[in-house]
Amino acid sequence: MKRLAFSLALLCLTLGAAAQVTAGTAKFKVGDQPAWSNPAFDDSAWQTLSLDKDWTMQGIRNPNNFAWYRIHVVIPSSLKKAAVTSGMVLLDLGPVDDADETWFNGQPVGKTGHFPADPEGFSGNWQKPRHYLVSPRQVRWDKDNVIAVRVYNGGDPGGFYQREVRIGEPELANLAELTVGAENGKARIVLTSRTKLSGELRLETTDVLTDTQTGSETRRVRIVPGKETVVTVPIQDGNRLSAIYYDDRFDDLIAGSYSAPYILTPQAPATPRYNGPLVFGVRPGSPVIFRLAFSGDKPMKYAVEGLPAGVKLDPDKGVLSGSVAEAGDYPLVLIARNEKGEARAEFTLKVGAKIALTPPMGWNSWNCWGLSVSQEKVMSSATALINRGLADYGYAYMNIDDAWEAEERAPDGSIVTNEKFPDIKGLADWLHANGLKMGIYSSPGDRTCGGYLGTIGHEQQDAETWNAWGVDYLKYDWCGYSKVFNADPDKSVAAYVRPYLKMQQYLRQQPRDIFYSLCQYGMADVWKWGHAVDANSWRTTGDITDTWASLYNIGFQRQTELYPYAGPGHWNDPDMLVVGKVGWSNSLRDSRLTPDEQYTHISLWALLAANMLIGCDMAQMDDFTFNLLCNNEVNAVNQDILGIQAHRDVEEDGFQIWSRPLADGTLAVGIFNLNDSSAHVDLAGCLAKIGLEDVKNVRDLWRQKDIPASTCIIPSHGVRLLKVRR
Ligand code: GAL
């Protein structure tokens, strides 16, 4: 592996930058007219926008609509020689939010995503850099050239947002693509190109757990435009295939890799086993909605000892319902029986002022369905939550994110759902009957981030409507409120707190417990005042996505100082999980995180006492993802009743050690290898670094096995999650 990395770096150094010209601004207009693709069109009256900021940041609100950019650029003839030699000129537009169609000097050159009127229906691709190719003959050398970009924005922000447009000589990576995926237990390498190419494909497989090479080969390949060159190779679980294509003509390479999943969680026993939280908080008089989380063979019969008056148990479903008038701690014994045996768990029902005594566990629609969420999709994931057994591990909230709202309020001003949610009350009733809970999303502003109606001026009415529907969780997202904020000269912390205080007042007047989830990306150090508005959690950062860079930034870099602010009833929220099938749209794909990155993700969220909201389509959950989310010993760290968030104890040479004390006197310890290569790690040495010498017992929580504190291998971006008894 080392040798490979070295040759890669060397090549990058010797290649040098390709000749190019850039443009940082464009003429811009909201609307949509075919004539705007014409280079001769007079756009001098249009406004000028910068291309490195989205249009929302430049004061334009234009959700679910078209707008055009016309980029004027003089292309110098000094670029001509290189363009003629490679036969192409690259228009490197960077990413565009969300879908675009582009013309160069009046000729169509490409399209990314689909518009609402397309037969496929709208699908954006806001993260993908647009690389369109034109022939040198289409260029007006030393003269004005016009790149006309028709953009459809499915919810603000919209448009160009990252950087200037670059025009020049293409590199191999702009012309050819190498992707590696899996199909029927084999790794599948797909090469495509927009020009004829030939070169060498080098393949190497490594077992990530033992860090040994398990195979290597080199093949000659040809790539023809319009056709996929496909190579398949067998791959074992826990192996990583790295593929590098070296091109003869360009003397350059493109590379990709695929890591086959491997399951560490041992299979759950057939006998009942309790996997849920050991406490549950409810306010006096509020509905108790709680599902007993026992794994094991079904059918099961449930019983509870010590139930207070007012609460009853459905013995077939294991669902508690009713309410308790008197505040107090009610010790219960939860019992489940099946053909194979019986299990009992000691549990406390805490009736009092506090809810969310352990971090919320459940699902949210955003990371999978984005704005395409519907009642049907929520039901399908809820059914899978039960049938697949995730509910047996304590996952209970089914949270609908943005895009449930109708275009307009009812004549009496009340908020209503759109056609995708024909019966939201019915959905809540069904969830409650199954011991699950329903969450909803809104904004204190006039609009949500997706451009849907917010609560402004209707806060009390909306809180009452949600209560009537049976809402148990509100994610309240700043977004459109920035207009109110920007118009007010007051920029003190109080100005950030105000909208959340207002909703707190109305939420807490409702006769049910509504988990209050603040979403304003960490502004004004929300963790310092979130508890003062009785929030149960607050997002600490912007949105997460399924890349290592995002996970690293949000999970590791942005959480280190936040541990003092979390505790039973109020949690730091580093955003939803990005494992399983995600996509933020109607089209889903497997998370791009490697299996080790996913183990790191879940381990870190367990240590951080973070909200555990699954972000994938549960109806399509594979065994790897299920086992990742349903390891009872790992989840017990997240749900530990002390609620102490982990502290980062060590950061050294790309390794980090985080630890948190648990209620049983042990310590949960995560040793993370954030390097790009796997490492041999001396566990005893690591534990000594955090003051744990001569420990009595070390347990590997993913493998659910006691282990010696000896040397082990931690794969790149991977983790050892331990429970240590002193
Ligand atoms: C973002 C928020 C996301 C999602 C989205 C919906 O601001 O951070 O988690 O809720 O809005 O439009």
Residue from 125, 130, 103 nearest 114 by CA: 125
User: Is pLDDT above 70 for 296?
Assistant: yes
- Hey, what amino acid is at 227? K
- Can you tell me whether residue 461 is helix, strand or coil? helix
Q: How far is the CA of 54 from the centre of ligand 1 (A)?
A: 16
Residues 181 and 148 in one domain: no
Rounded distance, CA 125 to CA 131, Å?
A: 13
Rounded distance, CA 282 to CA 126, Å?
A: 41
**Considering the chain, what percentage of its residues have pLDDT values greater than 70?**
98
Question: Residue 17: what pLDDT?
Answer: 52
Specify the ligand 1 atom closest to the Cα of 543: 8
Q: Average pLDDT of 680-692?
A: 97
**Is the bond preceding 261 in cis, omega lying within 30 degrees of 0?**
no
Name the residue of 543, 546, 576 to mutate for ligand 1: max ligand atoms within 8 A of Cβ. Answer: 543
**Looking at ligand 1, which residue's alpha carbon is closest to its atom 4?**
366
Residues 119 and 213 in one domain: no
Q: What is the mean pLDDT of the chain?
A: 95
Split into its structural domains, the chain has a count of 5
Residues 540 and 594 in one domain: yes
Q: Average pLDDT of 341-356?
A: 98
**Is the bond preceding 98 in cis, omega lying within 30 degrees of 0?**
yes
Q: How far is the CA of 363 from the centre of ligand 1 (A)?
A: 14
Helix (H) or strand (E) holding 528: helix 526-529
Q: Are 348 and 332 in contact (CB under 8 A)?
A: yes
Specify the ligand 1 atom closest to the Cα of 448: 12
Question: Residue 18: what pLDDT?
Answer: 61
Residues 223 and 290 in one domain: no
Instruction: Give tens-digit pLDDT for 417-448.
Output: 999 999 999 999 999 999 999 999 999 999 99
Nearest-5° Cα angle at 366, 374 to 320: 75
Confidence of residue 4 (pLDDT cuts 50, 70, 90): very low
Would 465 be classed as within a structural domain? yes
Q: Average pLDDT of 475-486?
A: 95
Residues 132 and 198 in one domain: no
Residues 195 and 255 in one domain: yes
Specify the ligand 1 atom closest to the Cα of 370: 6
Residues 124 and 241 in one domain: no
Would 265 be classed as within a structural domain? no
Would 39 be classed as within a structural domain? yes
Specify the ligand 1 atom closest to the Cα of 576: 9
Confidence of residue 523 (pLDDT cuts 50, 70, 90): very high
Q: Which two tokens mark 415?
A: 């908020």
Rounded distance, CA 293 to CA 156, Å?
A: 40
Residue reference for tokens 């070295």: 6
User: Is pLDDT above 60 for 219?
Assistant: yes
Confidence of residue 7 (pLDDT cuts 50, 70, 90): very low
- The total of other beta-carbon atoms located within 10 Å of residue 316's CB is 10
Q: How far is the CA of 478 from the centre of ligand 1 (A)?
A: 9
**Looking at ligand 1, which residue's alpha carbon is closest to its atom 9?**
543
Instruction: Give tens-digit pLDDT for 50-61.
Output: 999 999 889 898
Confidence of residue 409 (pLDDT cuts 50, 70, 90): very high
Q: How far is the CA of 449 from the centre of ligand 1 (A)?
A: 6
Strand 515-519 to 473-477 pairing:
parallel
Q: Which of 590, 622, 645 is the last residue of a domain?
A: 645
Q: Average pLDDT of 546-553?
A: 97
Residues 619 and 653 in one domain: no
Instruction: Give tens-digit pLDDT for 602-630.
Output: 999 999 999 999 999 999 999 999 999 99
Residues 485 and 569 in one domain: yes
Residues 399 and 316 in one domain: no
Q: Which two tokens mark 357?
A: 């005594």
Q: How far is the CA of 523 from the centre of ligand 1 (A)?
A: 15
Would 267 be classed as within a structural domain? no
Question: Residue 56: what pLDDT?
Answer: 86
Residue reference for tokens 């920007």: 486
Rounded distance, CA 542 to CA 545, Å?
A: 10
DSSP state for residue 679 in the 8-state scheme = E
450 lines ligand 1 (CB under 6 A): yes
Question: Residue 155: what pLDDT?
Answer: 79
Q: Average pLDDT of 199-211?
A: 97
Q: Are 165 and 159 in contact (CB under 8 A)?
A: no
Q: Which two tokens mark 321?
A: 């319902």
Alpha helix ranges (H) inside 292-423: 366-369, 375-387
Residues 367 and 497 in one domain: yes
449 lines ligand 1 (CB under 6 A): yes
Name the residue of 57, 372, 401 to mutate for ligand 1: max ligand atoms within 8 A of Cβ. Answer: 401
**Looking at ligand 1, which residue's alpha carbon is closest to its atom 2?**
543
**Considering the chain, what percentage of its residues have pLDDT values greater than 90?**
91
Q: How far is the CA of 333 from the centre of ligand 1 (A)?
A: 39
Q: Which two tokens mark 126?
A: 């806001």
Residue from 674, 647, 644 nearest 658 by CA: 647
437: domain CATH number is: 3.20.20.70
Q: Average pLDDT of 296-311?
A: 98
Would 471 be classed as within a structural domain? yes
Residues 473 and 619 in one domain: yes
Would 499 be classed as within a structural domain? yes
User: Is pLDDT above 80 for 283?
Assistant: yes
- 325: containing domain: 273-351
User: Is pLDDT above 90 for 6?
Assistant: no
Instruction: Give tens-digit pLDDT for 14-44.
Output: 334 568 999 999 999 999 999 999 999 999 9
Q: How far is the CA of 477 from the centre of ligand 1 (A)?
A: 7
Would 390 be classed as within a structural domain? yes
Q: Which of 611, 645, 679 is the last residue of a domain?
A: 645
Q: Which of 645, 668, 695 is the last residue of a domain?
A: 645
- What's the start-to-end Cα distance of the chain, in Å? 38
**Is the bond preceding 266 in cis, omega lying within 30 degrees of 0?**
no
Name the residue of 126, 402, 521 to mutate for ligand 1: max ligand atoms within 8 A of Cβ. Answer: 402
Q: Which residues, in sequence order, are bridge partners of residue 679?
A: 714
Q: Are 357 and 350 in contact (CB under 8 A)?
A: yes
188: domain CATH number is: 2.60.40.10
**Looking at ligand 1, which residue's alpha carbon is closest to its atom 7?**
449
Would 264 be classed as within a structural domain? no
543 lines ligand 1 (CB under 6 A): yes
247 lines ligand 1 (CB under 6 A): no
Question: Residue 14: what pLDDT?
Answer: 32
405 lines ligand 1 (CB under 6 A): no
pTM metric for this prediction? 0.87
Residue from 721, 722, 720, 716 nearest 593 by CA: 716
Instruction: Give tens-digit pLDDT for 378-389.
Output: 999 999 999 999
- Can you tell me whether residue 215 is helix, strand or coil? strand
Q: Which residues are designated catalytic? A: 477, 543
519 lines ligand 1 (CB under 6 A): yes
